[in-house]
Amino acid sequence: MTRKKTAGPQADPISAQDPHITYPEKDVRHIGVVAFAGNMAPAMEILHRFAAANPGIKLYLNAFLKPFARKGITVKTDAFLRTKADLLLSLGGDGTFLSVARMVRGAAIPILGVNLGRVGFLADVALGNLERILEEILRREYSYRKRMLLHVEVFNGSKRLLEDISLNDVAFTGQMGHQMLDLSVTAQGRFLTDYWVDGLLVSTPTGSTAYALSAGGPIIHPSADSLLLTPMNPTSLSVRPLILPDYMRVGVRSNLGRNMEVNMFVDGRIQFKLKPEHTVYIRKHKDGVSLVRPKGASYFESLRSKLGWTGSRRSRDAAAEAA
């Protein structure tokens, strides 16, 4: 079957003004599929049908999906997937997507998140739409949206103790879940304030709809280049979330006693025990992560559906007619 090749979907007026949105320049021929837990049979049934209908497309599975391998669908290492795949499917929830993003760091491989869990802002493709979206991808009827990453470093004097990346946030919390924190924070080398709080979040715009949203922070559009500082349960009512430009480097130190430590989590997975002699530096990473944006995808529609927003019937009808 001869497929009609296009240069990508027709850009809508808003997308055409967004420098974070780009369009594919080559065909997708090699698709990596990644999962780490859960019942993958329904998703793999769809992918088996897709592979049978498109023998020219190679599907590669990570080790967890080995039971679903068959002719034309082979298991490969993570190193192979991050260098040889044209696109990666993340099967699971947002936690799986975060793990896949860490796996491809610096490789510039776009990721399509397929939601097999509950609410998913990163893994936002419903399983029932996967087959259609894969066919659209083969016709280049999709786009990429680049998401910001955080570069996280921990120093003891001049010695670097940790280097990591974050797509959502870096969280600072007390020990045993109830210890108040006293954190000294700088922005671009200048003292900002001392936070006396239950916790502090430093988030990307992507992370503004994660932990920070639950902590009362604002929702930031993914294309707004910024860093978000969200204090959790501050002792002062005047302390509020703060949005900084993305060129700034945020520094965090603990003012607690010598025998007291602060938990630091990077995307909820990496824990580091922060002591008063440590300094954490958080800034925008030079690389980002590319998300596959299916045809017709709308960030605002995602917010309405995931968060249960409502509007008047008249407003919804007018929006539908405009689209």
pLDDT at position 306 is: 79
Range of the domain at 58: 13-147+288-322
Residues 102 and 30 in one domain: yes
DSSP per position, 226-245? EEEEEEES-SSTT---EEEE
Within-domain flag for 2? no
Summarize the confidence of residues 61-67 as an average pLDDT: 96
Q: What is the per-residue pLDDT across 179-215, written as a single tens digit (0 to 9) for each?
A: 899 999 999 999 999 999 999 999 999 999 999 999 9
Residue 258 has pLDDT above 90, yes or no: no
CB 123 within 8 A of CB 93: yes
| Predicted local confidence at residue 49, as pLDDT | 95
User: Does a structural domain hold residue 6?
Assistant: no
Domains contained in the chain, number? 2
Q: Are residues 176 and 242 in the same domain?
A: yes
pLDDT at position 303 is 86
Q: Which comes out higher in pLDDT, residue 11 or 207?
A: 207
Residue 301 has pLDDT above 70, yes or no: yes
Pair 206, 137 in one domain:
no
* pLDDT score at 6: 47
Residues near 31 by beta carbon (within 8 Å), at least 6 away in sequence: 57, 58, 59, 60, 85, 86, 87, 88, 89
Query: What pLDDT sits at residue 260?
Result: 86
Q: Which of 12, 18, 27, 94 is catalytic?
A: 94
Q: What is the CATH number of the domain that holds 248?
A: 2.60.200.30
What Rg value do the Cα atoms of the chain yield, rounded? Answer: 21
Domain presence at residue 4: no
* Nearest residue to 285 (alpha-carbon basis) of 91, 150, 139, 114: 150
pLDDT tens digits, 98-134:
999 988 887 789 999 999 876 678 888 999 999 999 9
Judge whether 257 and 276 are in contact, CB under 8 Å.
Answer: yes
| DSSP H/E element including 203 | strand 199-203
Burial class (CB in 10 A: 0-12, 13-18, 19+), 286: exposed
Beta strands at 169-173 and 190-197: parallel, antiparallel or unpaired: unpaired
Separation between Cα atoms, residue 36 and residue 22, nearest integer Å: 29
Nearest to 38 by CA among 76, 111, 90: 90
pLDDT beyond 60 at 4: no
Same domain, 168 and 104: no
SS3 category, 251: strand
The reported pTM is 0.86
pLDDT category of residue 71 using cuts at 50, 70 and 90: confident
DSSP state of 258: T
Averaged pLDDT for residues 170-179: 82
* More confidently predicted of 257 and 283: 283
- Give yes or no: residues 100 and 86 share one domain: yes
Whether 72 is covered by a domain: the verdict is yes
- In a domain, residue 28? The reply is yes
User: Rounded to whole angstroms, how far apart are CA atoms 66 and 194?
Assistant: 50
Is residue 315 situated within a structural domain? yes
Confidence of residue 14 (pLDDT cuts 50, 70, 90): low
Of 122 and 162, the structure prediction assigns the larger pLDDT to: 162
37 & 136 share domain: yes
For residue range 18-28, what is the model confidence (pLDDT) as tens digits? 888 888 888 99
Is 3 contained in some domain? Answer: no
Helical axes 130-138 vs 41-53, angle rounded to 10°? 30
| Per-residue pLDDT tens digits for 27-40 | 999 999 999 999 99
Q: Is 169 a catalytic residue?
A: no
Check residue 79 and give left, alpha or beta (phi > 0: left; psi -120 to 50: alpha): alpha
Q: What would the mean pLDDT of 53-72 be, rounded to a whole number?
A: 94
What confidence score (pLDDT) does residue 60 get? Answer: 97
Share of the chain above pLDDT 90, in %: 68
Q: Which tokens belong to 208? A: 């503004």
